[in-house]
Amino acid sequence: MGIFDWKHWLVILIVVVLVFGTKRLKTLGSDVGDAIKGFRKAMNTEEGDKGPEQSSAQQPGAAPLNQAQTIEGQAQKVQDPVTRKD
């Protein structure tokens, strides 16, 4: 019993077919495959484009882009100029 009962899966399948229709379900697999291929292609193209730019853009002695950077300095109190009211 429970969710793994074959009767429950049959009811879920019937509801899915009624909601989406058989024509849309036939094209679902190819649409998902095309979307995944496009995503992978975009990721590979993006990584290939960034490789040479990162090495040339980074200055010698600078911290790598993925590491945290801190700004060193000392805070000073700024005083407002005293104005006289005559």
Residue 34 confidence (pLDDT): 93
Q: Evaluate if pTM is beyond 0.75.
A: no
Tokens 């911290």 map to which residue? 63
Residue 60 confidence (pLDDT): 58
Q: How far apart are the C-alpha atoms of 22 and 28, rounded to whole Å?
A: 10
Residue 38 confidence (pLDDT): 93
Residue 16 contacts by C-beta under 8 Å, 6 or more apart in sequence? 25
Rounded to whole angstroms, what are the CA distances from 84 to 77, 79, 80, 81?
A: 21, 15, 12, 10
